[in-house]
Structure 1
Amino acid sequence: MENENLLKQISFIKEIDKIKYIQRRTKLFNSDRNENDAEHSWHLAMMAIVLAEHANEPVDVLKVLKMVLIHDIVEIDAGDTFIYDTAKDHSNTDEELIAAKRIFGMLPKEQAEEFIAIWEEFEEGKTNEAKFARSMDRFEPLLQNTSNKGGTWAELNVDYQRVYDKKKVINEGSTSIWNYSENLLNECVDKGILKK
């Protein structure tokens, strides 16, 4: 049984290497190179560790780390949907649930169930951990786009209100980070990076 579990876990580890090939629309800080999902997940994990004290409620940091490290693994099958995409809704959870069951289902049963449950908890966004993890997920690209003079906002002519509406979820996980974010967005308007 132990050997069987190990073989399943190694198969899963090999499979998730594919996340490194999933390109995001957002570019790295002060760069013209697109970020991939693995880089994004790593960055969110570091942000969660560093910024945990700013969560609105106490959080289990290990659980937040699990959420941010696994939340985009489903994009191996489902692909990355750009948050400002007007043709396809960003909450494509039906496709993603199928992907979650396939990919996490490669693991031993107990681990598979845990990962699916953590992924679902992140998607629902109701627990303190999920709210904070989702805050990190929305905060990182905001920082990237502001470092790139508007980045994908400017490229795709995304206006202030659309950005604001997508980013305000940050407040659910961290009011202090949301206040910082709101100030950044207003600075972007003042600099002409975002149009109101």
Structure 2
Amino acid sequence: MNFERLLKQVAFIHEIDKVKYILRKTRLFNSDRNENDAEHSWHLAIMAIILAEHANEPIDILKVVKMLLIHDVVEIDAGDIFLYDTEANHTNTEAEHKAAERIFGLLPEEQAADLIEVWDEFESGETMEAKFARAMDRLEPLFQNISNGGGTWKEYDVRYEKVLEKKSVIQKGSEHLWEFAKELIDESVKNGVLTKSAH
């Protein structure tokens, strides 16, 4: 029997186990434990399935789930960039592209090409699927920070205006979820877990 194709697939499966060790800045709901990238991706994929009905347009949910399960795999090589980082840019970088080529490149050629294409689509954020997937990616940490009394907002002195700016990406995927998110952000100010900048 020829296991050459299967061995490539197994090599990829081994490699992506490293995603479980990449810690994010955000913490689990009502917890002081940092979330890892694998937990994050799983949570987003489930969220997308549950919230798909709120997308601005009909979406291919399987493609969205695929995007969300692989979108942070590149952080094995490139590391996690905090959304509110003032030094590093949170847009897709050369390092992330190299990581995508290397990690997905472990797979048989057509599978590698498919996943790189799906990853690129998510990063570009132009299709309805990518917009909805990116909305999930911004919504989950919002829920986490609220559940943790401000979480990374307080820890890194992130202000209301910056949160609103970064989270506005949600509306491209779902106006309905954006309205809900805005209410949560405004309530966070009233509850003292988020501060407005002094003008």
- Quickly name the TM-score band, shorter chain normalised: over 0.9
- What is aligned with 2:15? 15
Task: Kindly state the Cα deviation for residue 72 of structure 1 after the two structures are TM-superposed.
Answer: 0.1
Q: Distance in 2 between matches of 1:34 and 1:107?
A: 30
What is the RMSD computed on CA atoms of the aligned residues?
Answer: 1.0
Q: Which whole-Å deviations, capped at 9, do the CAs of 1:47-76 have from their partners, x for residues lacking one?
A: 010000000010000000000000000000
- What is aligned with 1:77? 77
Q: Distance in 1 between matches of 2:83 and 2:185?
A: 17
Unpaired segments ≥5 residues, structure 2: none
Q: Secondary structure of 1:179's match?
A: helix
**Identity of paired residues, percent?**
64
Unpaired segments ≥5 residues, structure 1: none
Q: Distance in 2 between matches of 1:16 and 1:65?
A: 16
Task: Kindly state the Cα deviation for residue 100 of structure 1 after the two structures are TM-superposed.
Answer: 0.1
Task: Kindly state the Cα deviation for residue 21 of structure 1 after the two structures are TM-superposed.
Answer: 0.2
Task: Kindly state the Cα deviation for residue 3 of structure 1 after the two structures are TM-superposed.
Answer: 2.0
- What is aligned with 1:161? 161
Q: Which whole-Å deviations, capped at 9, do the CAs of 1:151-190 have from their partners, x for residues lacking one?
A: 0001111000111110000000011111110000000011
Establish whether residue 195 from structure 1 lines up as the match of residue 184 from structure 2: no
Q: Which whole-Å deviations, capped at 9, do the CAs of 1:87-123 have from their partners, x for residues lacking one?
A: 1111142110000000000000000000000000000
- What is aligned with 1:48? 48
Q: Distance in 2 between matches of 1:55 and 1:92?
A: 24
Q: Distance in 1 between matches of 2:47 and 2:2?
A: 34
Runs of 4+ aligned residues of structure 1 deviating over 4 Å after TM superposition are none
Kindly tell me: are residues 2 and 180 of structure 1, through their superposed partners in 2, closer, same or farther at Cα, counting changes over 3 Å?
farther
How many residue pairs get aligned? The number is 196
- Amino acid of the structure 1 residue aligned with 2:83: I
Q: Secondary structure of 1:83's match?
A: coil
Greater mean alpha carbon deviation, residues 59-68 or residues 90-99? 90-99
**Is the contact between residue 92 and residue 123 of structure 2 (CA under 8 Å) also seen in structure 1?**
no
TM-score (norm 2): 0.97
- What is aligned with 1:3? 3
